[in-house]
């Protein structure tokens, strides 16, 4: 359920003296001076994310680097095949990292002179989901077919949904700005006579689980791993310079 909440705003009153009469009182400006009120309004909509991103990894180790590489490739291919069978497409799957790391013996001397014990190969796959309710299912499928690490899970709002909600949150921000401007103008014994300038900005943060939750999810068995996304706040800020008189 989408709901709108208004943020208490700081309202600043500025005197803009076009004749550069710094320090002139509001009621004593000449006819060429604009009397203005600068207000910033913020609107916020709390909504549910409609996209999820999961980072999965396959790690293999072996004293022979080629053996470690081949084992890693086999397991990652199995993970990708299982996810494809589950309905994901190549557009939903992207390799975001691949590394080969030599793990050396701890001899107390220079690590460059230490003997290599084994090689660790890591392949990281980013999975994008358009159905956030499937996150737990997809993680379980990946783990059952060879994935052994979940690096992060994030939930966010798609560009399409942002555009749908943008006009609503902007209208909320403008309404808040106008309400505050009217209140300040009345307190000054004046009223709004027009608008001189408007600027718009917006921001929304994604929601992410913290890393501590992943070990528990990766060790889960039986029922599908429960993953419940939090809500996402979409905010818009509007700065308006009102003419007053």
Shared domain check, 62 and 27: no
Least confident segment among 170-174, 200-204, 218-222: 218-222
Shared domain check, 105 and 67: yes
Shared domain check, 179 and 152: no
Shared domain check, 42 and 7: yes
Which residues, in sequence order, are CB contacts of 85 under 8 Å at separation 6+?
none
User: Does pLDDT of 208 surpass 70?
Assistant: no
Q: CATH number, domain at 99?
A: 3.30.70.2970
Shared domain check, 43 and 73: no
Instruction: Write out pLDDT tens, residues 52-68.
Output: 999 999 999 999 999 99
Shared domain check, 104 and 33: no
**216 occurs within a structural domain:** no
Cβ count within 10 A of residue 166? 16
Instruction: Write out pLDDT tens, residues 42-101.
Output: 999 999 999 999 999 999 999 999 999 999 999 999 999 999 999 999 999 999 999 999
Cβ count within 10 A of residue 2? 13
Domain range spanning residue 102? 51-156
Question: How many independent structural domains does the chain possess?
Answer: 2
**185 occurs within a structural domain:** yes
Instruction: Write out pLDDT tens, residues 209-227.
Output: 544 344 444 444 556 777 8
Q: 138, 156, 174: which is the final residue of a domain?
A: 156
């Amino acid at each position: 359920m989408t709901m709108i909440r208004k943020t208490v705003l700081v309202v600043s009153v500025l005197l803009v003296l076009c004749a550069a009469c710094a320090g002139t009182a509001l009621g004593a400006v000449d006819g060429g001076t604009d009397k203005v009120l600068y207000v910033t309004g913020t609107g916020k909509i709390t909504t549910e994310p409609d996209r999820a991103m999961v980072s999965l990894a396959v790690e293999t180790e072996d004293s022979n680097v080629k053996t470690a590489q081949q084992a890693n490739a086999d397991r990652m291919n199995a993970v990708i095949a299982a996810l494809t069978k589950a309905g994901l497409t190549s557009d939903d799957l992207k390799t975001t990292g691949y590394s080969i790391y030599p793990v050396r013996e701890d001899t107390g001397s220079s690590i460059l002179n230490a003997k290599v014990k084994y090689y660790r190969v890591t392949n990281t796959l980013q999975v994008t989901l358009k159905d956030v309710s499937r996150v737990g299912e997809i993680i379980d499928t990946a783990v059952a077919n060879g994935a052994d690490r979940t690096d992060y899970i994030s939930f966010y709002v798609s560009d399409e949904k942002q555009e749908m909600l943008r006009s609503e949150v902007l209208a909320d921000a403008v309404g808040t700005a106008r309400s505050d401007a009217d209140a300040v103008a009345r307190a000054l014994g004046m009223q709004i006579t027009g608008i001189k300038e408007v600027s718009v900005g917006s921001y929304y943060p994604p929601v992410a689980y913290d890393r501590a939750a992943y070990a528990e999810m990766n060790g889960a068995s039986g029922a599908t791993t429960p993953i419940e996304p939090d809500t996402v706040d979409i905010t818009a800020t509007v700065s308006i310079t009102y003419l007053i008189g």
